[in-house]
């Protein structure tokens, strides 16, 4: 029993004036106490109407009473005796324990034992008696009940879970409740009472906090007592390969204790060889959709489902055709592989590199087999992978010493006058933006400062990309700024506003062509900034050709024949023979009537000066159109 600390006193009645406590003898008449509680059980209404008065009458008829440890102990003993008598009476009458004393006319009424438990629970919740009394009564009740009655007793515990889990009661009785549930689990059959065992485990998971270390297997100890027994000798008339039968069920020895399998190399090699035989057999005998529909586990009744499969050699052929059976075995393989790969192991538990490669290959093979199992193999594998992934978080939490998940509520800060401080309201949502805005209002010059919002120049912005393209810098391509989409997008906007010529080179050379040529070294500049492109060059040739041809034709009409015969052909030949050094070189034809360079500039202001090759082509075409050919001029001269 959870004993109270020395000197514990629980006030039953609040006095208006402080009085000297009247101590009660621990040898009070037990029969009188039992009779008072028997009559209290029969009273209608909620326990809040009469529970406190019942305790006062049981201990002493006076109202001004202080219950100390000895009186609390005597009261607990009396109530435990009453509970034992009620259970004995229920057994003798042949009624169910939790239904004993329930009126047949009124189905809503409770039995005597649930009524007694409600009274004690109310007294414990209000602090009138020691908080661990209700847990002690529940433990006694489960020990005195059969397994059939324990299910109803545990149903009562589940219904009062919220009250029992309160902080004032949980600290007093958590160890008693844990002991009660563990005793029930020991009495239950893990094969026949699966649902009841699950209810108890679910209750413990909800009753205790997540960070409770008592429910965690810190050392990672395996349940080696769960042995799978199978036939060692081949029976007469067996229809399956007995060698495969022994290999198949011998895997359960490794699944039962994976740590022992990995520590010994011989055991690991034996496990790998046996596992390969089983996987090859599963792969050689795939299941069809008909097998999946016939042996669907979801359609089976709950009464036919067992937590372990039968190991008779006569059933081996049927079990191999069962999809749920294959899923069960393959799932065990994945759990073992996940344990071997789990983090937080010491040096002895870490598998070797060769073992890791084998685990990886076998894990892929197991997953492929799971996907091929009808009718929902892929969905089943997806769920298992999700569960195993979440299991890693649980392993890391245990490795770190099970730190608590719960966070204590933040205490409300009180002012000097005892009132809660009001939360300050910021103009722009938080403290930093509020002070920034307030500082700008106090300093108007900050809004007009040139350095406050400054758009960088094109030369400054593209400098980083130009450095990336410098071969001597040795910057790898994956770290270039051109891979940053935001950087390129901002640079194109700057170039569109400040360098339209550079922006036009984006369609031909990409983002590198937008960079100003001054930022590039010579070997890189020649790649992206050479002569004009072929399209603009051809357009300029056509314009020059049309303009020059028109000028030459006009000059031929206005120029006398004698001047033409006198030296035009010679002048053209001399001019064509002179090499042109620069693009700005112009041919002058004196006394021929041909327009001077200044006049050509006036007549065709849009015509640019073309290179040397352009002049030669234009002159030849112009001579051909006007009939001034060198051969004709020479003939006339002769």
Across the strands, what pairs with 24? none
Confidence of residue 65 (pLDDT cuts 50, 70, 90): very low
Bond into 375 cis (ω within 30):
yes
pLDDT per residue as tens digits for the range 607-631:
444 444 444 344 444 444 444 334 4
Least confident of 108-122, 257-271, 403-417, 500-514: 403-417
Q: What is the mean pLDDT of residues 579-603?
A: 42
CA angle in degrees (0–180, nearest 5) for 159-165-167: 155
| 257: DSSP letter | -
Q: Choose between 80 and 615: higher pLDDT.
A: 80
The pLDDT assigned to 278 comes to 95
CA angle in degrees (0–180, nearest 5) for 574-579-582: 130
Confidence of residue 302 (pLDDT cuts 50, 70, 90): very low
Of all residues in the chain, the percent with pLDDT exceeding 90 is 25
Least confident of 100-104, 219-223, 380-384: 100-104
CA distances to 3, 27, 283, 426, 431 from 420, rounded to whole Å, are 40, 52, 71, 18, 20
pLDDT at 74 over 60: yes
By residue count, the chain amounts to: 638
pLDDT at 3 over 70: no
Three-state DSSP class for residue 8 = coil
* b (16+ CB within 10 A) / e for 429-445: eeeeeeeeeeeeeeeee
Q: What is the mean pLDDT of residues 372-376?
A: 89
CA distance 230 to 272: 20
CA distance 147 to 193: 10
The pLDDT assigned to 593 comes to 44
**Taken in order 114, 120, 126, 132, is the CA torsion positive or negative?**
negative
CA distance 162 to 597: 106
For residue 97, which of 78, 79, 116 has the smallest C-alpha distance?
A: 116
The pLDDT assigned to 327 comes to 93
Confidence of residue 42 (pLDDT cuts 50, 70, 90): confident
* b (16+ CB within 10 A) / e for 198-213: ebbeebbeebbeeeee
* Whole-structure pTM value: 0.47
Three-state DSSP class for residue 270 = helix
CA distance 322 to 307: 15
For residue 334, which of 283, 272, 384 has the smallest C-alpha distance?
A: 384
CA distance 235 to 398: 47
The answer to whether 189 touches 147, Cβ cutoff 8 Å, is no
What are all long-range contacts of 354-363, with beta carbons under 8 Å and residues at least 24 apart? 355/262, 355/268, 358/272, 362/272, 362/275, 362/276, 362/279, 362/333, 362/337, 363/333, 363/334, 363/337
Q: Mean of the per-residue pLDDT values for the chain? A: 75
Q: What is the mean pLDDT of residues 498-515?
A: 86
Least confident of 203-212, 385-394, 417-426, 484-493: 417-426
pLDDT at 219 over 80: no
The pLDDT assigned to 68 comes to 67
Least confident of 74-83, 311-320, 510-519, 546-555: 546-555
For residue 67, which of 133, 142, 135, 139 has the smallest C-alpha distance?
A: 133
pLDDT at 605 over 50: no
Q: Choose between 448 and 213: higher pLDDT.
A: 213
For residue 537, which of 604, 603, 613, 622 has the smallest C-alpha distance?
A: 613
Q: What is the mean pLDDT of residues 436-458?
A: 69
The pLDDT assigned to 574 comes to 44
pLDDT at 110 over 90: no
Q: Choose between 513 and 159: higher pLDDT.
A: 159
CA distance 524 to 109: 96
Least confident of 66-75, 366-375, 477-486: 66-75
Residue 480, judged by CB atoms within 10 A of its CB (0-12, 13-18, 19+), counts as: middle
Q: What is the mean pLDDT of residues 559-584?
A: 42
Give the count of beta carbons closer than 10 Å to the beta carbon of residue 308.
11
Phi-psi sector, 20: left (phi>0), alpha (psi -120 to 50), beta: beta
Least confident of 54-58, 199-203, 380-384: 54-58
Q: Choose between 356 and 593: higher pLDDT.
A: 356
pLDDT at 169 over 70: yes
The dihedral over CA atoms of 429, 433, 439, 444, expressed in degrees to the nearest 10, equals: -90
The pLDDT assigned to 203 comes to 94
Backbone Cα Rg of the chain: 50
């Amino acid at each position: 029993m959870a004993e109270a600390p020395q000197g514990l006193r629980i006030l039953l009645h609040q006095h208006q004036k402080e009085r000297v406590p009247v101590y009660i003898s621990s040898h009070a008449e037990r029969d009188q106490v039992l009779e008072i509680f028997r009559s209290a059980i029969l009273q209608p209404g909620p326990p809040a109407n009469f529970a406190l008065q019942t305790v006062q009458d049981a201990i002493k008829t006076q109202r001004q009473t202080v219950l100390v440890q000895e009186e609390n102990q005597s009261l607990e003993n009396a109530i435990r005796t009453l509970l034992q008598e009620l259970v004995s009476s229920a057994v003798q009458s042949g009624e169910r324990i939790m239904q004993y004393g329930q009126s047949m006319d009124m189905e809503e009424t409770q039995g005597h034992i649930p009524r007694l438990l409600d009274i004690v629970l109310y007294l414990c919740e209000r602090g009138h008696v020691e908080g661990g009394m209700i847990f002690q009564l529940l433990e006694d009740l489960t020990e005195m009940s059969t397994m059939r009655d324990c299910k109803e007793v545990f149903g009562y515990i589940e219904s009062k879970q919220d009250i029992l889990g309160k902080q004032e009661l949980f600290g007093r009785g958590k160890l008693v409740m844990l002991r009660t549930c563990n005793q029930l689990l020991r009495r239950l059959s893990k094969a026949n009472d699966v649902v009841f065992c699950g209810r108890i485990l679910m209750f413990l998971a909800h009753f205790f906090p997540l960070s409770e270390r008592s429910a965690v297997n810190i050392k990672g100890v395996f349940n080696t007592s769960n042995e799978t027994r199978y036939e060692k000798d081949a029976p007469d008339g067996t229809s399956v390969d007995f060698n495969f039968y022994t290999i198949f069920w011998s895997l359960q020895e490794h699944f039962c204790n994976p740590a022992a399998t990995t520590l010994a190399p011989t055991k690991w090699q034996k496990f790998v060889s046996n596992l390969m035989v089983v996987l090859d057999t599963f792969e050689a005998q795939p299941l069809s959709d008909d097998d999946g529909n016939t042996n669907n586990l979801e359609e089976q009744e709950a009464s036919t489902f067992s937590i372990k499969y039968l190991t008779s050699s006569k059933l081996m052929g049927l079990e191999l055709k069962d999809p749920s059976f294959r899923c069960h075995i393959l799932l065990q393989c994945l759990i073992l592989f996940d344990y071997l790969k789990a983090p937080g192991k010491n040096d002895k538990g870490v598998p070797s590199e060769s073992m890791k490669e084998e685990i990886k290959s076998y894990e892929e093979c197991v997953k492929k087999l799971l996907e091929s199992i009808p009718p929902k193999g892929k969905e089943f594998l997806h769920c298992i992978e999700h569960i195993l992934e979440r299991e890693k978080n649980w392993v890391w939490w245990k490795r770190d010493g099970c730190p608590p998940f719960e966070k204590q509520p933040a205490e409300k800060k009180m002012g000097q006058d005892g009132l809660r401080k009001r939360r300050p309201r910021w103009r722009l949502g938080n403290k930093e933006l509020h002070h920034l805005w307030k500082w700008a209002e106090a300093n108007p010059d900050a809004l007009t400062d040139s350095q406050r919002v400054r758009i960088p120049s094109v030369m400054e912005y593209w400098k980083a990309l130009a450095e990336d393209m410098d071969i001597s810098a040795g910057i790898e391509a994956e770290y270039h700024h051109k891979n940053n989409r935001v950087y390129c997008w901002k640079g194109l906007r700057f170039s569109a506003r400040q360098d339209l010529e550079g922006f036009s080179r984006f369609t031909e050379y990409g983002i590198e062509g937008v960079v100003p040529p001054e930022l590039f070294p010579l070997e890189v500049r020649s790649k992206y900034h050479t002569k004009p492109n072929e399209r603009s060059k051809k357009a300029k040739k056509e314009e020059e050709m049309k303009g020059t041809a028109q000028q030459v034709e006009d000059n031929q009409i206005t120029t006398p024949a004698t001047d033409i015969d006198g030296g035009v052909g010679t002048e053209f030949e001399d001019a064509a023979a002179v090499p042109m050094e620069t693009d700005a070189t112009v041919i002058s034809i004196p006394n021929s009537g041909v327009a001077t360079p200044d006049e050509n500039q006036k007549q065709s202001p849009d015509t640019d000066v073309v290179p040397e090759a352009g002049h030669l082509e234009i002159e030849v075409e112009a001579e051909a159109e006007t009939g001034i050919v060198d051969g004709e001029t020479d003939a006339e001269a002769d």
